[in-house]
Amino acid sequence: MIQEKQLNYTYAVDPNSDTAAANVLRFVGKHKKVLEIGAGPGSILQVLQDINQCNITAIEVYPDYIAKLKEFCPNVISADLNDPQWNKIFAEDQKFDVVVAADVLEHLYDPLKCLKNMATLLDDNGSIVISLPHIGHAVIAGCLWDGDFEYGEWGLLDHTHIRFFGIKNIQNLIEDAHLKIIDVSFVVRSPDQTEFAERWSRLPQGFKKEILSNPFACVYQVVLHVVPQAFQGNSIQLAQVPIPSSQIIPFGVLNQTYGLTGFLRSIVRKVLSQNQKNKLQSYLKNWGIHV
């Protein structure tokens, strides 16, 4: 029996930001026939409809989310993505320009099978857009060092995550599904910009410096644009993609900025209303401060 759940994945999407959701919108493009699996309450779906002007079909399993989706999406299907035959709900000739799985695969028992099912629903020139949390972020190593791998309500250790992916695991997942990566965007967040900022601040300086020497240590999410392997063009190897130098956070800067960002983050999360949070975050972003 599917349990009810709170609508805790409702969030504002700024198409011009550097978030995973914004990168999903860019990879999907405009005026496409789109299937979004695990659409949740429709945070990304609404923007795909309203701004990208796409024709959307949504798949969701939770009744609360389905009711929310039906308020603005005419094509909502109830299906369990853990069912290995979920793609059979569509007729053989029903295909899509783009299939979207935005922070979905980490919630599934068999993400590889789901990804293969997604590929069967592509038209001749179709593609898949995926976003995944990166378990290789420095703060997760910090959690392990501290002996406290604690799940939370959101973020890298969202309590509903049952699969975890490093850079090599993501590459293998795509290739094992007989797909290839044609574009990628890394969502970069320094440790003091994450939900584990306070714990990170208590770690030994030598440990932090060593962990941050990994070029992907500050990659928080990975957004992929993938196509079947038979398509023309080369496949991107994630381990060889450089992180833009403007996104690399020098080690010393983390220590200098933690006090300010940590204080602002505590206000954002504990004191302000959601509307106030969005306004403050937007304002601070203009000054290069992400909370």
Residue boundaries of the structural domains of the chain: 20-246, 250-291
Q: In this predicted structure, what is the pLDDT of residue 71? A: 95
Contacts for 156 with CB less than 8 Å, ≥ 6 apart: 133, 134, 135, 137, 139, 140, 194, 195, 196, 220
Structure tokens at 242: 């450089």
In which order are the strands placed within the sheet that holds 76-78? 76-78, 55-60, 33-37, 96-102, 122-133, 219-228, 179-188
**Rounded Cα gap, residues 220 and 132, in angstroms:** 9
Choose among 233, 247, 17, 53: nearest CA to 127. 233
Judge whether 46 and 39 are in contact, CB under 8 Å. Answer: no
Q: In this predicted structure, what is the pLDDT of residue 233? A: 86
State in words which class domain 20-246 has: alpha beta
Query: Running along the chain, 291 residues long, what does each successive block of 10 average in pLDDT?
Result: 49 87 97 97 95 97 96 96 97 96 97 98 97 97 92 92 97 98 96 94 94 95 97 93 66 42 50 61 53 51
**Rounded Cα gap, residues 105 and 202, in angstroms:** 32
- pTM, entire model: 0.82
